[in-house]
Structure 1
Amino acid sequence: MFKKARIGSLDRALSRRSILESAAAFLSVPFIAKATAAWAQEKLAGSGEVVVFSYGGSYTQGVRKNVYEPFTKATGIAVVDVTADIAEPQVRAMNRAGRVDWDVALIDGQNYPTMHEAGLFQPVDYSLWDDEALKGAPQSARLSDAVVAFRSTTLLAYDERSFPKGGPQNWTDFWNVKAFPGPRGLSAVARHMVLALAADGVPNSDRWPLTDDKVDRALRKLAEIKPSIAKWWTAGGEPVQALINREFVMTSCYDGRALSAIRQGAPIRMVWSGGNLVYVYWTVLKGGPNNGNAQKFVAYLNRAQSAAGFTLGTNLTGPNVNQLLHLPANIVPLLSITEENASQVVPQDDAWLAAKRPDGKTNVDHLQERWLAWRAQ
């Protein structure tokens, strides 16, 4: 059963979480509910409820059908989903007020370090995890007080109709307007200037931290392609729609958005080489009303069949690689956790972005200032 508390507006629910995409056609995975029910009853059975932050829209529809309903059926714990644009301001405000009304929240990777240092999260109870989940989710995804909920990669996507003999294979090709002519799109997010470093030959291992000399190099490279950029997109749905409408021949794009469009038949190809990988974390909030149920919820999410349900329902991919055994074969090559795709992307240095410079500004704020100044030229 479900209860729902409403915070904010559905019209704004995806304003920053623009990587979320429509998944209405993929909301039926009964095999997952059956497979996870027996497992969940071993350690995760309970009663009452758990209050979980949600982005709203198609994300909430997909996760309810594919994760929350099976979780409730298997454990007896009801899910109350609260909807807002983003979780971080509310989590901080509840903590300051000494009244935490939520149990579980999704926290962006670049916000996690400072919130971790502030002690806003409970340690994750990994004793509730089964052996398969612990082995399937890499240690890097299992922090002391947070677990990767999903991976989001900003990658190169192109319209295969524009390049019937073969499209771009990397960011160097994106910059090659002679070999691959046509209008392009690029993200207006400042940290995505790292994609220009890939185009300029910077090895993946040297991309981060994005020091001042690398910023200078990235902006010089961006100046070369700037005349071919038809739009600096801001909302996650823009690049996919522009490709479908043939407004772009290629663009930077969130992998979840591209995956959703491809599953619905769009002629889009994904290129993983040099993509920028970010993490969003599940966290159990300190002082939440249902801590025990929250720990069971997080443990359930990271079992392979549950992770597969999350992927099918949201087109966002959690870290447990064992879910690949429970997904349709045509979807697997399009996910960031396959060995081939994972080897080509570069994890964003969230700790560096959150760190303060000598002038007291964070690195991410400094990057934004440099970016806006360059865009204004």
Structure 2
Amino acid sequence: MTNTAGFPSGALSRRDLLRRGAVLAGGLAALGGAGTLLSACGSGGGGGGGSKRVVVADWGGALQEAEKKHIFDPFSKETGIEVVIAGPPTTAKIKAMVDTGNVEWDLIAGGPSTVLPVGRDYFEDLPDRLRTIPGIDPSYVDPKWLTYYLFSVVLAWNTKALGSAKLAGWQDMWDVGKFPGKRTLRGADQGVPPDLEFALLSDGVPRDKVYPVDLDRAFGRLQQLKPNVPQWWTAGSQPGQMLVSGQVVAASMFSGRVDALRKEGAPLDFTWNGGMLQLASWSVPRGAPNKEAAFKLAEYSVRPEVQAAVWSNYNNGPANSKALDLMDKNLALSMPSYPANAEVQFLNDAAWWGKNREAVLKRFQQFAAT
């Protein structure tokens, strides 16, 4: 039995976590550089009542360009509300803005991994209309954020190096006898969380029992693989580069980057089995000057036709399941949020990472240095 998001009913979901009062974590991957100013003029609008301007804190790069073309520009054309892009939306900047009452941003691209470390009190409650949007699973929505896409970290490999062999899951990642060659997993530099969850899955832990993470067991498995890891990756482009160059034969990797490299002819394959789904969401900082405009933009971004347009041009999974029916069938099948793909993955638990991140990062750095 699955929920509407496609997850097994026994698996840990954000709904389960919400019932315990905290949800999802684990850093969003670095998606790009600083934001670009799309437009600098427009009226203010204290409290956002009748504002014709909304300032979005985004992450830059190709993702931001896709959002500009398929979300921000069409939204401005339809509503007359100007979109200004700033960012990147670091937690330190958000906290400082709200603490000083000098809030420059209206809408933040982040999600639970942004909200929870800063604190829920630093963000506005979403209006009711944004919490019950048809096609968006309730487990993707919180009073403080609305998910507009999903992305996954999956197990990928070099088909040239491994020939016809296919890795079925994380146990195969650790089986260097049957599948010889070097590996790479995510490390812990610059606050990026290491791949402890995959270490547990490789040791037979069920997907719905990954959290709370058994640290000793996870680090024990990482220790077993360590002789075959020339480098722990911390930037999203690294595992693909290492796979294509032949430095490693298998890696944890963002599914969208696998897709992009395969389109360029790279000899790569991957499995959704045991992948880690993460939510990318909109939040509005407390005291945002144009919060009503921000709510309108967030709502616009999850319309099925808008979702289909933007995520057909950038391989992330639409949060609104109705968008899948509007996309090319083969493309929809490649999305992290496609039900058949989602049901064999698990959701990253931000509540656990929010409580344990600093201790884990310190322990991993000591582990990697010895």
Instruction: Say yes or no: TM over 0.5.
Output: yes
Q: Secondary structure at the match of 2:272?
A: strand
Match of 2:113 in 1: 110
Residues 282, 128 of structure 1: CA spacing in aligned structure 2 closer, same or farther, 3 A cutoff? Answer: closer
1:207 aligns with one of 205, 210, 218 = 210
Partners of 1:278 and 1:231 lie apart in 2 by 24
Aligned to 1:328: 328
The alpha carbon displacement at 1:162 in A equals 2.2
CA distance in 1 between counterparts of 2:291 and 2:51 reads 12
- Any residues of structure 2 matched to 1:1-377 within 5 Å, and which? 18-20=29-31, 48-84=52-88, 86-117=89-120, 119-127=121-129, 134-189=133-188, 190-210=193-213, 214-355=214-355, 363-377=356-370
More deviation in 48-57 or 323-332? 323-332
Would the aligned equivalents of 1:21 and 1:315 in 2 still touch at CA under 8 Å? no
Structure 1 184/191 Cα, relative in aligned 2: closer, same or farther at 3 Å?
A: closer
TM-score by length of 1: 0.80
2: CA distance, partners of 1:120 / 1:237: 32
In structure 2, the residue corresponding to 1:100 is in which secondary structure? Answer: coil
Over the aligned positions, Cα root-mean-square deviation in angstroms equals 2.2
Q: CA, structure 1 residues 288+60, in 2 after alignment: closer, same or farther (shift >3 Å)?
A: same
Give the match for residue 18 of structure 2: none
Quick check: 1:157–1:251 contact (8 Å CA) kept in 2? yes
Q: What secondary structure, in the 3-state scheme, does the structure 1 residue paired with 2:177 have?
A: coil
Higher relative contact order (CA 8 A, sep 6+): 2
TM-score, normalization by structure 2: 0.81
Identical aligned pairs, as a percentage? 28
Q: Which runs of 5+ in 2 are unaligned?
A: 1-26, 34-49
CA distance in 2, matches of 1:321, 1:231: 37
167 and 19 in structure 1: CA distance in 2 versus 1, 3 angstrom threshold: farther
Segments of structure 1 that go 5 or more residues without pairing to the other structure are 1-15, 23-45, 356-362
**Is the alpha carbon distance of 1:301 and 1:126 closer, same or farther for their aligned partners in structure 2, counting shifts above 3 Å?**
farther
1:96-144 deviations in Å (ceiling 9; x for gaps): 1111111000224334224343x12222124368xxx822110011111
Write the deviation string for residues 282-331 of structure 1: whole angstroms up to 9, x where unpaired. Answer: 10222112111111101001111212233234433231111112222332
Q: C-alpha distance in 2, partners of 1:55/1:226? A: 32
Aligned length: 324
